[in-house]
Amino acid sequence: MEKAFSYRFYPTPEQESLLRRTLGCVRLVYNKALHERTQAWYEKQERVGYNQTSSMLTNWKKQEELSFLNEVSCVPLQQGLRHLQTAFTNFFVGRAKYPNFKKKHTGGSAEFTKSAFKWKDRQITIAKCSEPLPIRWSRQMPLGCEPSTVTVRLHPSGRWHISIRFDNLTVKPLPATNKVIGIDLGISSLLVTSDGNKISNPKHLKKHYRRLRRAQKSLIRKQKGSKNRDKARIKVANIHVKITDTRKDHLHKLTTQLVRENQTIVVENLAVKNMVKNHKLAQAISDASWGEITRQLSYKCRWYGRNYIEIDRWFPSSKRCSSCGHITLTMPLRVREWDCPNCGIHHDRDINASKNILAAGLAVSVCGASVRPEQSKSVKATAMKQKPKS
C-alpha cells in the first residue's frame, strides 16, 4: 500500500540557499516549457510533448545566461517537465483548466526520485547537499520501508515541508464489524449519519475571518516591492496556515473514526464544483470541504478493508420519505423538518436524507440497482423531450 508522510524540517542556511535555488530553477524550467508549448500551438498548431521539452532543457543548460541550471540537481527539473505533461493531459481530457505559470510568492516544490537522494540511518540527504536534512520526525516510518520519492515544499509563510512516499507493507485490514452507515453532508451540521448523530461544523474560516480580513486590508495598502509588504504577506499566509492545519486535523480525526467504527460507508457523489457557483453558499461549502471528506473516506476504506459506496448525486434523498418512499415535489433549503403527506411521519430533513442514502447504497452494493429513479429527473428536461418539433 503506497503512503506518504509529511514532516516539517528546518534547513541550515546552506541547505536553504540550495533549496531556494532549486525551487527557482524548477519554476523557471516549468514556465519556459509552458511558454514554448503554448507558442508552438498558437503559431504552428503543433503539439509539443515531454520528449521535446526534455531536449529543450538540455539546450537551455548549454546557454551562458542559463548556466546556473547546472548548479542544482537535474532530477527536480525533469520531474517539473513531467508534471507539466500531466497538467496538459488533464486539460485535454477535460479534468482541469489550461496550465498556469508558476509564481515566486507561492513558494513552490521540488520532487526528488531515488537517484537524487540518499536514505541512510533513517536520514535523508538530497543531491548536491552534504548533510542530511534536519527533519522533525513527528512519527517514525514503518520498519523495512524505504522512500521511493521525496518532495520538498516551501509554503508562502516560509515553512519547509518534506513529503516522503513509500510502499507500506504493514497496513492490515481492521477487524470486521456489522455496522453500516449513511452520511449526508451539510453546512449547519458538517455531516449527519443514518443512526441520528449530527457532527457540528467547526467553520474554521469563520473563526479567523475577521483577523484574516484585517491582515489582507493591511497587505493591500503596502507599497509593492517593499519590505513591509513582504512582512504583511507572511502574516496573511500564517493565518491561512492556521485555518488549513485546524481543518485538516479535524477532518482526519473525523474520517478515521468513521472508518474504524463502520464496515460500510455510503455517501452522495456531490458536484462541489457546480455548487460553489452559488455565491451565497460558496464560502460555506468551501470551508466545509465536502470533497476532502469523501476523498479521505475513500482511500482510508481502501486501506483498512472497509466498503465505500457513492450513490448518484441526483438521487432525491431529501425529498423521499424514508418510511414509505413517497417523494414530495419541492423541498426548499429552508425546510429543516417536514411531515410526510402520505404516511404522516415527522422527519428531520438531514437524518431522513442519510437514511435514504444508506438504503440506496445498500441496494447498489447488493443487486446493482439504479439509484436514479424517473421521479428524480428534472421537470424541465422531461418537458423539453415532450416538446413537439416546429
The tens digit of pLDDT for each residue in 36-91 reads 999 999 998 899 999 999 999 999 999 999 999 999 999 999 999 999 999 999 99
pLDDT in tens, 117-165: 999 988 999 999 989 999 999 998 888 889 999 999 999 999 999 999 9
Listed as ranges, residues in the chain with pLDDT below 70 are: 367-390
Note whether 151 and 112 are within 8 A (CB). Answer: yes
* Predicted local confidence at residue 323, as pLDDT: 87
Give the length of the chain.
390
Note whether 354 and 192 are within 8 A (CB). Answer: yes
DSSP state string for 124-179:
EEETT-SS---EE-SSPPPTT--EEEEEEEE-TTS-EEEEEEEE-TT--PPPP---
* Predicted local confidence at residue 372, as pLDDT: 52
H-run or E-run covering 120? strand 117-120
Cell representation of residue 119: 536514505
Question: Scanning the structure block, which residue is given the C-alpha cell 497587505?
Answer: 219
* Predicted local confidence at residue 322, as pLDDT: 87
* Predicted local confidence at residue 98, as pLDDT: 95
Pick the catalytic residue: 111, 184, 287, 310? 184
* Predicted local confidence at residue 342, as pLDDT: 86
With b for 16 or more beta-carbon neighbours within 10 A and e for fewer, the 15-43 pattern comes to: beebbeebbbbbbbbbbbbbeebeeeeee
Provide the whole-model pTM: 0.85
Pick the catalytic residue: 111, 287, 310, 350? 350
Rg (CA), the chain: 26
E strand segments, 168-298:
180-185, 189-193, 198-200, 264-268
Distance CA 49, CA 47 (A): 6
* Predicted local confidence at residue 370, as pLDDT: 52
Pick the catalytic residue: 111, 268, 287, 310? 268
To the query of whether residue 350 is one of the catalytic residues in this protein, the response is yes
* Predicted local confidence at residue 390, as pLDDT: 39
Whose CA is closest to 109, among 223, 233, 24? 24
To the query of whether residue 184 is one of the catalytic residues in this protein, the response is yes
